[in-house]
Chains A and B, each alone.
Chain A
């Protein structure tokens, strides 16, 4: 649950502490990691020191990919747009992201905005329900055991599979798209919250009991912060699966957004635009994930 700060590393106390123990012996001695000096076991990651080489390798992979892609589009399949063509299309969209020529022709910035708004609404609603349920299940083992089989079944169902049923029930494509996102956001958060709450150390709950904390302040001051890292890990996975689900939902429901855009360009047989849309979906997803990485860091704690 803890996340060590990668920029610091602790030195084994045997090397640094006075031999007889002393007042400083219990203290963790933390040094700034420096680029020079002998390799030491790093506090986090794979336990290896990583220099700047990964950037070179990463760049090399990108160039290799672009080269293969260019090769395929020049000799393999001439109709397949190469990276340069896609870049031109991307520039066309990105240079004027906010125009509005009626409901079926809007700037890419608006389309991303629609998708994000849909994601935020469905995700927020799903997360609130999931966290509340997760806390209840995490605190009540009997209830958890009783409901766990159903949760396992429900989370195995692709949110897209619900779509026909939802569409039939709510009779509205906008609401259906939101509900799909809602469903996609529920399960990882629910499972992780229940797990995190259930695994809170007994001693923290004992302290809460001795302090006679009322239920609500126990939930907000002890249980939620204690399960915080697990909950955020769940939210992060949920966000990913919601973003994955939103594309087919928009495509199938015709709700304006990135999913709609990619499907519309497929119907136009504009493969360069399809590729641009794919890349854009990936880029937005990465940015969302980075946001959660920040949140995770701010809530992490070390026992």
Chain B
């Protein structure tokens, strides 16, 4: 069998309460794997530790035990092979749209000449339909446009895997649908594997191949794995006509709700 692209093995995270000095467990001994070109979502309540898990995979947070493998190699530091798309966009506010993407392209391809860099930047600015806004600063853009920059920045360096941390949580509902479709389109075009964490059940079902349900912390676990059966291309309109969608949705909501109550 083919080796998974991303493998998380027995990862644990503890936090220490700064006042009481009590340690509490965010999650312990957590394992998962993601195959090449797969779109996997971790679905869980806010504060269940799913963003912490993503940050550990990205290398920007330390775990208290456990190992993350990418392409069979243990990861120790953050790197260009695991680009993160942040919930709050994390764009450099002093750089324009193309400036932000250029920052990434330059870092990923330091040996490239100016023309090649510009070509690459233009391509990804166009990919997210921001050519007209390319000279604008993030503060002049809507949330949806900002996250397009975040996506373009991540895709532009051609990472092995994209780590999406509730990427659409701060975007208004109508724009969210559009940008979700754009993400799927870019995922299909580039063939880059995506690992996303979200608390939006519909989003997880609409976008992913596989959903991992995370129980609320402390001591969170990945309790269940669901393979999404719906054929692509999926659209929200078509999904809501399918009774199977609501069945699946109810099952997930019941699972998360039940765990929440317990």
Give the B-binding residues of A (Cβ under 8 A): 20-28, 201, 203-204, 206-207, 209-213, 217, 221-222, 225-226, 228, 299, 301-303
Chain B min CB distance to A219 (Å): 14
Q: With an 8 A cutoff between CB atoms, is B115 at the interface?
A: no
Option from A24, A206, A303 in Cβ contact (under 8 Å) with B78: A206
Q: With an 8 A cutoff between CB atoms, is B86 at the interface?
A: yes
Given the contacts A28-B140, A222-B92, A302-B139, A210 and B83 also touching, CB distance less than 8 Å: yes
Option from A23, A210, A226, A301 in Cβ contact (under 8 Å) with B137: A301
> Would you list which residues of chain B between 141 and 187 have a CB under 8 Å from chain A?
141-145, 157, 171-175, 178
Given the contacts A21-B172, A26-B175, A28-B140, A210 and B93 also touching, CB distance less than 8 Å: no
Tell me if B172 and A26 are in contact (CB < 8 A): yes
Q: Would you give 20 A-B contacts (Cβ < 8 Å), ordered by A?
A: A23-B142, A23-B172, A26-B142, A26-B143, A27-B142, A28-B139, A203-B88, A206-B90, A207-B92, A209-B60, A209-B77, A209-B78, A210-B60, A210-B82, A212-B77, A212-B79, A221-B103, A225-B95, A226-B92, A303-B93
Complex Cα distance A24/B78, Å? 35
Q: Provide the residues of chain A in CB contact with B141, threshold 8 Å.
A: 27
Complex Cα distance A228/B173, Å? 35
Complex Cα distance A211/B106, Å? 9
Tell me if A302 and B93 are in contact (CB < 8 A): yes
Tell me if A211 and B175 are in contact (CB < 8 A): no
Chain A min CB distance to B179 (Å): 10
**Closest residue on chain A to residue B55 by CB atoms:** A206
Complex Cα distance A299/B145, Å? 23
Tell me if A225 and B108 are in contact (CB < 8 A): no
Query: A21-B174, A23-B142, A207-B90 are known contacts; what are 14 more A-B pairs with Cβ within 8 Å?
Result: A21-B173, A22-B174, A23-B144, A25-B172, A26-B145, A26-B175, A28-B139, A204-B90, A210-B80, A210-B82, A213-B107, A299-B94, A301-B137, A303-B93
Given the contacts A20-B174, A226-B94, A302-B93, A211 and B108 also touching, CB distance less than 8 Å: yes
Contact with A along B37-49 (1 / 0, CB 8 A): 0000000000000
Q: Which residue among A27, A212, A303 has the maximum number of chain B CB atoms within 10 Å of its CB?
A: A212
Give the A-binding residues of B (Cβ under 8 A): 58-60, 77-80, 82-84, 86, 88, 90, 92-95, 103-104, 107-108, 137, 139-145, 157, 171-175, 178
Given the contacts A206-B60, A207-B92, A210-B83, A217 and B107 also touching, CB distance less than 8 Å: yes
Complex Cα distance A221/B140, Å? 21
Tell me if B171 and A212 are in contact (CB < 8 A): no
Q: Provide the residues of chain B in CB contact with A21, threshold 8 Å.
A: 172-174
Chain A min CB distance to B187 (Å): 19
Task: Tally the A-B contacts, defined by beta carbons under 8 Å.
Answer: 83
Option from A22, A207, A225 in Cβ contact (under 8 Å) with B94: A225
Tell me if B80 and A204 are in contact (CB < 8 A): no
Which 6 pairs between the two chains have the least Cβ-Cβ distance? A26-B142, A302-B139, A211-B107, A203-B90, A301-B94, A26-B143
Tell me if A206 and B84 are in contact (CB < 8 A): yes
Tell me if A225 and B92 are in contact (CB < 8 A): yes
Q: Provide the residues of chain B in CB contact with A226, threshold 8 Å.
A: 92, 94
Given the contacts A21-B174, A23-B174, A211-B80, A302 and B137 also touching, CB distance less than 8 Å: yes
Complex Cα distance A21/B142, Å? 12
Q: Provide the residues of chain B in CB contact with A207, threshold 8 Å.
A: 90, 92
**Closest residue on chain A to residue B172 by CB atoms:** A21
Tell me if A212 and B137 are in contact (CB < 8 A): no
Q: Provide the residues of chain A in CB contact with B58, threshold 8 Å.
A: 210
Q: Provide the residues of chain A in CB contact with B84, threshold 8 Å.
A: 206, 210
Q: Provide the residues of chain B in CB contact with A213, threshold 8 Å.
A: 107
Given the contacts A26-B144, A206-B60, A302-B93, A212 and B78 also touching, CB distance less than 8 Å: yes
Chain B min CB distance to A25 (Å): 5
Complex Cα distance A274/B174, Å? 70
Tell me if B157 and A211 are in contact (CB < 8 A): yes
Tell me if B171 and A26 are in contact (CB < 8 A): yes
Chain B min CB distance to A36 (Å): 26
**Closest residue on chain B to residue A26 by CB atoms:** B142
Q: Which residue among A20, A27, A203, A226 has the maximum number of chain B CB atoms within 10 Å of its CB?
A: A203
**Closest residue on chain A to residue B58 by CB atoms:** A210
Complex Cα distance A228/B95, Å? 13
Option from B92, B157, B172, B175 in Cβ contact (under 8 Å) with A204: B92
